[in-house]
Structure 1
C-alpha cells in the first residue's frame, strides 16, 4: 500500500531528471539556490569580518 506514493515520487524524479529541457531548468534553479544558501551561510558566519 505504501509503494504507490513511492512509485509516484520515482516517476516524478525520473521525469524531471531524464528530460533534457526540464533538467536544464532544474539545474539552473538548483545552482541559484545553492549560491543563495552559500551566501547566506557565509554572511551569517563571517559577515562581521567583512564590515568596514
Structure 2
C-alpha cells in the first residue's frame, strides 16, 4: 500500500497557497458561491416547494 502521511505542515501549505493566490482565491469564491446557491435552492424547494406548485 502507498504510504500517505498527511502532516499539519502540508495542510498549512495547501491552505496558504489557496488563500493567498489571487487567481485561486477567485476560483474558490466562485465555487463556494455556486455551492451555496445550489444548497440554498434545495433547501428552499424542500421547505416551500408545495407552495410553488401550479
Q: TM (normalized to structure 1)? A: 0.84
Structure 1 residue runs without a partner (length 5+): none
Q: Which residue of 1 aligns with 2:50?
A: 48
The count of residues paired between Structure 1 and Structure 2 equals 49
Q: TM (normalized to structure 2)? A: 0.81
Q: Report the structure, 1 or 2, having the larger helix content.
A: 1
Tell me by how many angstroms 1:45 deviates.
1.0
